[in-house]
Structure 1
Amino acid sequence: MEEYWTFGFSVFTGLFAITNPIANVPVFLGLTDGAGKIEKHRINSKATMTAFIIIALFTLLGKFIFDFFGITIPAFKITGGLLIFYAGFRMLQSKKSNMRHLDEVAVDENIAISPLAIPLIAGPGTIVTTMNYVTDASYLYIAIVVAVAGLICWMNYLAFRYSNLIVEKIGNNVITVIGKIMGLIISIIGTTMVIDGIKLTIALG
């Protein structure tokens, strides 16, 4: 039993480091700026549920999916890196405007799928990490990975749900600064993933 707990803790540590719920809060706030409470809840629910489904599918069927569609890890890293860079670039370019009414703001709820669900939560790093944990693993270990992934997605859901409370406690100015810094960091992460993908392509080529 102890080995299962050790394995579960290892999976949790790895996935939490990649999909840090706290660090994702400024991203969520930046992308949903101007949206109402109900709209944010829909986006939040859709993003975290989609992320869990994606992680679970790749955990269970990852190798089959990659082989069936001829997807390579380098190509996946490059594409995911470009999407992450774009999300960070949007955060860097966003500008705070004056107070607006909800009916004057149109937020595309498709951001729940991209870039929130994928690649922010269920990105290449997350998917590759979970796939590595279940390589030649028993069904019980696979179930542990899926359960931990569900816990991580739930933590992201809670972080997004109480993002407004976090804003109230910290303040809009601090959140804005954090958002800009996170935008820069996310852009750098995206660039790094592209570089890693290119290096892997050269190494495998």
Structure 2
Amino acid sequence: MNDITGHILNVFLGFFAIMNPVANTAVFVGLTSEESDAEKRQIAIKALLVAFCIVTAFALLGNVIFHMFGISLPALRVTGGILVFFIGYNMLNGERSKMHKPRGEDHAADDGVAISPLAVPILAGPGTIATAINFSSAGGWTETVITIAMFALLCVVTFFFFIGSRKVVSTLGKSGLNIVTRLMGLILAVIGVQMLIEGIVGAAVNWHNYAS
């Protein structure tokens, strides 16, 4: 039971760090600054639903993708670990990763913004997808269900952050957002290193078994 609780907490914190609802709230405000409250709600719902569907698909089909392309779990963990680490490293330096940065900062906020850049790549970027596959592939259906459930929970949390975006930004201020971003970056970098270590150990074990 303790192992399951620890896994649930690890998955939620991993997703929370890489999606960073607080920092993404500032992005949401910038993208929807000219929209009404009703339009903001619609954009938030659509973006989060799209992100949830994408992450769920990769969480469910991760093993199929592995077999189809001949990808091993250690290889994914090493690649995902490096990817997640560099996203965290950029956040530690007070920067947004290029994988999370909207391509068109001067985009007029409209319904299309919900899909890109908000849903992809800000909410469901490469790092989020790699994290979902890594967590869901760590075991059986229990891990997959936990991964999807925790991402769904985070989507709900993010929705409330987005809806109360003005209050969040005004309460924390620029300095507060920077502090939160750096803290999330530290957590993310550690998770990335952990994924990298597990990938290297797994690859070494596979190589040893193959050589034997």
Given the two structures, how large is their TM-score scaled by the length of structure 1? Answer: 0.65
1:162 is matched with which residue: 155, 161, 164?
A: 164
Q: Which residue of 1 aligns with 2:54?
A: 54
Q: Which residue of 2 aligns with 1:135?
A: 137
Structure 1: gaps spanning 5 or more residues: 95-105, 183-205
Q: Which residue of 2 aligns with 1:84?
A: 100
1:147 is matched with which residue: 138, 146, 149?
A: 149
RMSD: 3.4
Q: Which residue of 2 aligns with 1:32?
A: 32
Q: Which residue of 2 aligns with 1:45?
A: 45
Q: CA 1:39–1:132 in structure 2 vs 1: closer, same or farther (change >3 Å)?
A: same
Given the two structures, how large is their TM-score scaled by the length of structure 2? Answer: 0.63
Q: Which residue of 2 aligns with 1:119?
A: 121
Structure 2: gaps spanning 5 or more residues: 84-96, 182-212
1:135 is displaced (CA, Å) by 1.9
On the 8 A contact 2:136/2:147 being kept in 1, the answer is yes
Three-state SS of the structure 2 residue aligned to 1:84 is: coil
- Cα distance in 1, alignment partners of residues 35 and 115 from structure 2: 16
Q: Can you list the C-alpha shifts for 1:114-150, whole angstroms capped at 9, x where unaligned?
A: 1111111111111101111122511111111111111
- Cα distance in 2, alignment partners of residues 156 and 142 from structure 1: 21
Q: Can you list the C-alpha shifts for 1:10-51, whole angstroms capped at 9, x where unaligned?
A: 111111110111111110001111111111010000011111
- Cα distance in 2, alignment partners of residues 138 and 122 from structure 1: 23
Q: Can you list the C-alpha shifts for 1:26-77, whole angstroms capped at 9, x where unaligned?
A: 1000111111111101000001111111111110013435776999x88xx7
The number of residue pairs the alignment matches comes to: 160
Q: CA 1:40–1:148 in structure 2 vs 1: closer, same or farther (change >3 Å)?
A: same
On the 8 A contact 1:47/1:116 being kept in 2, the answer is yes
On the 8 A contact 1:19/1:121 being kept in 2, the answer is yes
Q: CA 1:24–1:82 in structure 2 vs 1: closer, same or farther (change >3 Å)?
A: closer
